[in-house]
């Protein structure tokens, strides 16, 4: 047993390490916070949280970019009830986070009269920073089953917090002006309650009343933050069943009488006072049902229709598996696999050479090699912890929860056709579980030095894993990985490079999503107009750019399309030359003969499909 002074010194060192990880995680999450363009989901958060509506944008007529950005002007008369009503209609998510954003934004000045993007992203970043000490504390209590394993629990918690601090996926989520960081906090606390509950149940003890109430409250608040938290509740029930089954198998293995499993299960249930566990399950289900009722009563399938699988496509069967693997890999490492705009480099010559594709290939190879090396390493570490009685129940509980969550993510697309794995941000549900398992594996590596790792010692292996996470996080923070889903910063410069005449950007409007897509362009036009650029042409494009959102009742239209007619009628009324940019225009194009398509602009832009037409007034053709 360690002397008191030695134990105190080690404890102080653990808290100093936690402070270091928190500062490091904060630095990464606050880096370049407003340097990335906002996209449509973030615009929904911004507009609804200041008490405005997407539905105020005029359709079927030409508007300027100030009109398009008008919903981003904070509404001083908006109340919390207004926010809840707006969210229930236009976002189809629980309102708790939006109310929190509404109160938070009041603490910051506007950005030229518009909502402050930095402030909006600072809230999830702060919540993401809080997840670091939160996961440390929860990991500590998850794996501290006995007073004598306090130091071991601190070590596991330390590496879990370290990994969460430098996880590239964690940086990506924390820099989204959405509710995912808030939901992750509830996930961490809820699975900590699960692990502690499993420890009580497998020890034949009743669940403490404070644990019951705390667990239920966290689950209800989690459901009130994001509807995918319902997967947490199901995964926890499955995890409880797996832990219960494991205990039966252990008793059978140790029993000389070899009692049937049914008899053992009955005896265990009598010892557990299972009524208290039922209270947790029923309380969480009842609280969650209130939020689900709100979803069902206001749900618009068109808003989330993009995650529906296409029927009769074989690739849709395999996509969820590969998307889950990709998400898990990105929680540990993410190199330059999304590079599209690195500067041209001259390599041994004066001719610029585009090295983007080689960088992408090299980055992918390194990531796969790293994943192939680290997976068996962590697996060996988990096996060691599985065999240690003092952390065994916590390990089994976290493994059961994480495996159940991933299993549900794979089952839902296959059973319902709704592919929730398609959005990287939706994988937040099992993200804390993955971090805790990595923390367990790294702790084993650190303690088992040097036998657990090949080619390097255990401590060196831990250092490599954390350095890979740090490098990957820096890549994400500086916008070279996990780009925003709509790259307005790429298409706007092309619009500004066209000849100096007025510009009309036209899109088909099917849902409120298209309003956010156009807002992204308007926001970028406004941002670039505010930046001094001496080489810019004298004519300011942002003041001449206008927008037309042509109403269309279906996403794709191939004949007798209202949007086609609105486009043609608008162009025919023009009295001066104009450039027509058709952006995400999903209808046949019918323009007057005075319009010529410009095929020079062919560079792909993520989130935006476009065509450029140079149009002259019809009077010019007549003359």
Closest CA to 131 of 431, 442, 385: 431
pTM (2 d.p.)? 0.88
Do 599 and 558 belong together in one domain? yes
Confidence of residue 536 (pLDDT cuts 50, 70, 90): very low
Of 312 and 346, more confident: 312
Do 131 and 228 belong together in one domain? yes
Least confident of 214-228, 332-346, 556-570: 332-346
Query: Residue 590: what pLDDT?
Result: 86
Residue 480 pLDDT > 90, yes or no?
Answer: no
Q: Where are the alpha helices (DSSP H) in 448-512?
A: 458-477, 488-497
Query: Residue 453: what pLDDT?
Result: 61
DSSP assignments along 289-339, one per residue? HHHHHHHHHH--TTTTGGGBPPTT-THHHHHHHHHHHHHHHHTT---STT-
* Mean of pLDDT values over 311-323: 74
* Mean of pLDDT values over 54-67: 88
Span between the terminal Cα atoms of the chain, in Å: 100
Least confident of 66-75, 77-86, 241-250, 500-509: 241-250
Of 226 and 353, more confident: 226
Query: Residue 402: what pLDDT?
Result: 96
Answer yes or no: is 67 within a domain: no
Residue 333 pLDDT > 90, yes or no?
Answer: yes
Confidence of residue 250 (pLDDT cuts 50, 70, 90): confident
Confidence of residue 265 (pLDDT cuts 50, 70, 90): low
Query: Residue 397: what pLDDT?
Result: 92
Query: Residue 539: what pLDDT?
Result: 40
* Mean of pLDDT values over 274-301: 74
Of 623 and 102, more confident: 102
**What is the distance between the alpha carbons of residues 312 and 309, in angstroms, rounded to a whole number?**
9
Do 464 and 503 belong together in one domain? no
Residue 148 pLDDT > 80, yes or no?
Answer: no
Answer yes or no: is 353 within a domain: no
Answer yes or no: is 382 within a domain: yes
Answer yes or no: is 142 within a domain: yes
Do 177 and 291 belong together in one domain? yes
Answer yes or no: is 224 within a domain: yes
Query: Residue 530: what pLDDT?
Result: 58
Confidence of residue 85 (pLDDT cuts 50, 70, 90): confident
Longest CA span, the chain = 104
Cα 382 to Cα 274, 433, 434, 556, distances in angstroms: 29, 13, 12, 50
Return the ∠ at Cα 129 (arms to 467 and 386), rounded to 5°: 60
Bridging pattern class, strands 545-551 and 503-509: parallel
Count how many domains the chain has: 2
Q: In what order do the strands lie in the sheet with 545-551?
A: 62-64, 545-551, 503-509, 578-583, 610-615, 595-598
Do 422 and 452 belong together in one domain? yes
Answer yes or no: is 65 within a domain: no
Q: Is the peptide bond before 450 cis (omega within 30 degrees of 0)?
A: yes
612 φ/ψ angles, rounded to the nearest 5 degrees:
-115, 130
* Mean of pLDDT values over 275-287: 83
Of 7 and 288, more confident: 288
Query: Residue 499: what pLDDT?
Result: 63
* Mean of pLDDT values over 332-340: 81
Query: Residue 255: what pLDDT?
Result: 57
Closest CA to 43 of 513, 483, 545: 513
**What is the distance between the alpha carbons of residues 149 and 145, in angstroms, rounded to a whole number?**
7
Do 556 and 428 belong together in one domain? no
Do 187 and 266 belong together in one domain? yes
Least confident of 81-95, 122-136, 177-191, 456-470: 81-95
Query: Residue 350: what pLDDT?
Result: 35
Do 470 and 568 belong together in one domain? no
Confidence of residue 237 (pLDDT cuts 50, 70, 90): very high
**What is the distance between the alpha carbons of residues 154 and 2, in angstroms, rounded to a whole number?**
15
Query: Residue 605: what pLDDT?
Result: 80
* Residue pLDDT, tens place only, 607-622: 888 999 998 887 655 4
Answer yes or no: is 512 within a domain: yes
Confidence of residue 259 (pLDDT cuts 50, 70, 90): low
Do 473 and 497 belong together in one domain? no
Do 290 and 208 belong together in one domain? yes
Helices and strands in the chain, H and E counts = 23, 6
Exposure letters 331-346 (e unless 16+ CB within 10 A, then b)? bbbbbbbbbeeeeeee
Do 472 and 499 belong together in one domain? no
Do 8 and 139 belong together in one domain? yes
* Mean of pLDDT values over 461-486: 91
* Residue pLDDT, tens place only, 495-512: 887 667 889 999 999 888
Answer yes or no: is 277 within a domain: yes
| 132 close to 21: Cβ distance less than 8 angstroms | yes
User: Which residues form the domain of 176?
Assistant: 4-30+116-306+364-477
Which range of 23-27, 378-382, 488-492 scores highest in mean pLDDT? It is 23-27
């Amino acid at each position: 047993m360690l002397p008191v002074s030695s134990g105190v010194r080690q404890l102080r060192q653990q808290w100093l390490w936690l402070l270091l990880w928190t500062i490091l995680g904060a630095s990464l999450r606050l880096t370049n916070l407003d340097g990335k363009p906002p996209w449509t989901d973030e615009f929904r958060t911004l507009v609804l949280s200041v008490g405005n509506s997407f539905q105020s944008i005029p359709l079927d007529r030409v508007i300027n970019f100030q009109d398009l950005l008008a919903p981003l002007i904070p509404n001083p008369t908006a109340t919390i009830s207004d926010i809840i009503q707006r969210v229930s209609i236009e976002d189809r998510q629980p309102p708790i986070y939006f109310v929190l954003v509404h109160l938070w934004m009041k603490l910051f000045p506007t950005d030229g009269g518009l909502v402050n993007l930095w402030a909006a992203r600072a809230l999830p970043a702060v919540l993401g920073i809080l997840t670091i000490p939160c996961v440390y504390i929860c990991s500590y209590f998850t794996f501290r089953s006995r007073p004598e394993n306090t130091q071991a629990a601190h070590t596991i918690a330390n590496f879990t917090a370290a990994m969460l601090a430098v996880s590239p996926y964690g940086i990506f989520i924390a820099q989204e002006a959405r509710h995912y960081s808030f939901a992750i906090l509830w996930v961490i606390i809820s699975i900590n309650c699960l692990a502690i509950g499993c420890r009580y149940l497998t020890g034949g003890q009743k669940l403490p009343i404070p644990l019951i109430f705390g667990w239920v409250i966290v689950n209800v608040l989690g459901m009130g933050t994001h509807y995918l938290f319902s997967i947490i509740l199901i995964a926890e029930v499955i995890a409880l069943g797996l832990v219960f089954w494991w205990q039966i198998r252990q008793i059978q293995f140790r029993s000389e009488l070899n009692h049937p499993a049914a008899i053992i299960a009955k005896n265990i249930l009598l010892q557990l006072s299972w009524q208290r566990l039922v209270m947790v399950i029923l309380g969480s289900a009842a609280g969650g049902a209130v939020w689900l009722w709100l979803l069902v009563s206001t749900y618009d399938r068109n808003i989330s229709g993009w995650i529906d699988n296409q029927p009769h496509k074989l690739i849709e069967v395999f996509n969820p598996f590969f998307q889950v693997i990709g998400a898990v890999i990105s929680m540990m490492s993410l190199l330059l696999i999304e590079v599209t705009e690195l500067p041209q480099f001259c390599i041994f010559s004066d001719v610029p050479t585009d090295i983007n594709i080689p960088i992408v290939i090299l980055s992918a190879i390194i990531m796969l090699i790293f994943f192939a090396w680290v997976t068996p390493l962590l697996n060996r570490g988990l096996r060691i912890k599985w065999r240690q009685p003092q952390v065994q129940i916590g390990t089994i509980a976290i493994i059961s929860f994480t495996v159940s969550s991933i299993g549900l993510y794979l089952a839902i697309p296959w059973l319902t056709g709704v592919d929730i794995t398609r959005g990287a941000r939706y994988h937040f549900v099992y993200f804390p579980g993955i971090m805790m398992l990595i923390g367990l594996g790294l702790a084993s590596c650190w303690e088992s030095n040097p036998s657990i790792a090949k080619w390097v010692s255990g401590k060196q292996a831990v250092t490599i894993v954390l350095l890979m996470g740090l490098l990957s996080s820096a890549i994400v923070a500086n916008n070279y990985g996990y780009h925003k889903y709509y790259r307005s910063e790429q298409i706007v410069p092309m619009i500004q490079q066209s000849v100096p005449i007025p510009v009309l950007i036209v899109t088909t409007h099917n849902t409120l999503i298209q309003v956010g897509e156009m807002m992204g362009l308007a926001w970028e036009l406004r941002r670039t107009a505010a930046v001094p650029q001496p080489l810019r042409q004298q004519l300011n494009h942002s003041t001449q750019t206008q927008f037309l959102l042509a109403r269309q009742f279906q996403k794709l239209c191939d004949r007798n399309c209202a949007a086609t007619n609105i486009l043609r009628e608008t162009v025919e009324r023009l009295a001066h030359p104009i450039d027509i940019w058709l952006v995400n225009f999903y209808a046949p194009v019918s323009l007057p003969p005075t319009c010529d398509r410009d095929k020079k602009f062919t560079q792909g832009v993520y989130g935006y499909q476009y065509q450029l037409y140079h149009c002259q007034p019809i009077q010019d053709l007549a003359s």
